[in-house]
Chains A and B, each alone.
Chain A
Amino acid sequence: EAEVAQSPRYKITEKSQAVAFWCDPISGHATLYWYRQILGQGPELLVQFQDESVVDDSQLPKDRFSAERLKGVDSTLKIQPAELGDSAMYLCASSPTGGNEKLFFGSGTQLSVL
């Protein structure tokens, strides 16, 4: 079965360093989501793409976070500089276009900022 691929699985970095996460959605899925999940809480949407366009980045801390999906396929989420409070699980999900479709999640990247 097709899967959403994410890498790396774990990332440890020091504060003020730059980090990047990669996501490859299921082939043909136009909608791609990046979520941040703090332990014990539900995922929070950071950014949503429809093909290569950002349709929602209202919760993305744009002073330090950036996201791109240049060809409407895979996507990169970057943090520069990382802060202690960025330690969390970063999840990528994808969905076909059409409204009422299932969500498919990657395994996530667990980020620890020291």
Chain B
Amino acid sequence: KNEVEQSPQNLTAQEGEFITINCSYSVGISALHWLQQHPGGGIVSLFMLSSGKKKHGRLIATINIQEKHSSLHITASHPRDSAVYICAVKKKTSYDKVIFGPGTSLSVIP
């Protein structure tokens, strides 16, 4: 079983919809990252969180450490939000090992 899982694998939404992407993990972590990857490969860090909730513009990320679960929400989705969203966790090791989930491919249709 993968240590980091995401759902759904693929998601299609109409412009304006509220979107939720989920991440669950099975290891002890020191932090969790949400990343965005556009076609062509570039990866951008959206959030890094170890507790609670963070908000940036239309994006909101939450984490529940006890339940080993995180969610990424996009409000008022727009076609430019179309990308792959990846959850990654920093395992509690002597060094900062980061492992990635498989990603969620989001397509927002006008």
Contacts and interface: CB of A to CB of B under 8 A. Distances in A.
A31 B101 CA distance: 20
Contacts of A101: 48, 96
B35 A45 contact: no
Interface residues of B, number: 26
Nearest to B4: A42
Main secondary structure of the interface of A (DSSP, over half): strand
Q: Is chain B's binding surface mostly helix, strand, loop or mixed? A: strand
Interface string B94-105: 111111111100
Interface string B20-44: 0000000000110101000011111
Contact of A45 (B33, B50, B94, B98): B98
Given A56-B95, A95-B96, A100-B50, A42 B42 contact: no
Contact of A42 (B31, B50, B102): B102
9 contacts: A44-B100, A48-B96, A91-B41, A99-B30, A99-B96, A101-B48, A103-B33, A103-B98, A108-B41
Interface of A: 31, 33, 35, 37, 41-45, 48, 50, 55-56, 89, 91, 93, 95, 97, 99-105, 107-108, 110
Interface of B: 4, 30-31, 33, 35, 40-45, 48, 50, 86, 88, 90, 94-103
